[in-house]
Amino acid sequence: MQKRKLGNSGLEVSAIGLGCMGLSYGYGPATDTKEAIALIRTAFERGVTLFDSAEAYGPYKNEELLGEALAPIRDKVVIATKFGFDFDQKGGQSGMNSRPEHIRQVAVAALKRLKTDVIDLFYQHRVDPNVPIEDVAGTVKDLIREGKVKHFGLSEAGVQTIRRAHAVQPVTALQSEYSLWWREPEQEILPTLEELGIGFVPFSPLGKGFLTGAISETTTFDSTDFRNVVPRFTPQARKANQGLVDLLGEIAARKKRTSAQIALAWLLAQKPWIVPIPGTTKLHRLEENVGAATVELTPDDLRSINDAVSKITVQGDRYPPHLQARVGR
């Protein structure tokens, strides 16, 4: 697996990371612990060194899982986790919270769950409108000074927030959604990150599974699957968006690769400081995703993909309104 550096920070990670959320949250029942640990360790054996978690995934269960899985190889991997929410007694999110004292509490608790003495990359999960971003960045700066954290990250932040945070504590990476069916970051986010020397970690690089070709308008999701409330995943939207998947399939067939591999390779080809973090619960999908790092897309390939995709208008919002309100601040 090739390595990449996240912007100017010097933080080197595998070209493709592993998004771990789906192992315990968001996409149906949690994966059996032994199977999840085996998958995480197999990812490392295949060259993956960036593992992405958050206290919100579970909550807490994902960090505990990662801590157990990575304990034997802790010094060889980069662990990213996130802060920024309160939780009720049932484990549901009860609001944003990026107050400095709360960030500190989360850091200490996450270190225990992750079985480590330092968090490699600590993201604010969503921008908190009630706390100045300067206070957030300053708190993480203190945690870095104290040796509890190595790098500061933001998730789904807008350009002005990124600039303000970066002025207080250099931002190593921004994590936001980016893929062939969500290209909004190209407008303002990517130029800003390039200017400031910040790495980009796209989540949902396979469109929450849609770009793999494994989901159709008739697919049904588990009752606990987040996609049930996503406008882009209504049967009507899936039917309307099938053209994009068909197109990817045609390109993949020509290259003797899979649709998922072409979608990931396209992301890797956009900038040398982009590191996608596809998630999966299946070993064969993990192998497929890791294999995308070896796909060579020529300038002609990239032109044909862009030309074809530009003719397709993706239907449906990527979040329901209450979640859309939390992004791009």
- Annotated catalytic residues are 57
What residues are paired with 52 via a beta bridge?
19, 80
Query: Can you tell me the distance from the alpha carbon of 211 to that of 289, in angstroms, rounded to the nearest whole number?
Result: 12
What residues are paired with 46 via a beta bridge?
none
Contact 222, 298 (CB under 8 A): no
The total number of residues shown for the chain amounts to: 329
CA distances from 198 to 7, 124, 163, 308 (A): 4, 15, 11, 30
CB atoms within 10 A of CB 246: 12
Q: Which residues, other chains included, contact 46 with Cβ-Cβ below 8 Å and sequence gap of 6+?
A: 1, 286, 287, 290
In this structure, what are the phi and psi dihedrals at residue 290, rounded to the nearest 5 degrees? Answer: -60, -35
How would DSSP label each residue in 36-93? Answer: HHHHHHHHHHTT--EEE--TTTTTTHHHHHHHHHHGGGGGG-EEEEEE-EEE-TTS-E
Q: Which residues, other chains included, contact 142 with Cβ-Cβ below 8 Å and sequence gap of 6+?
A: none
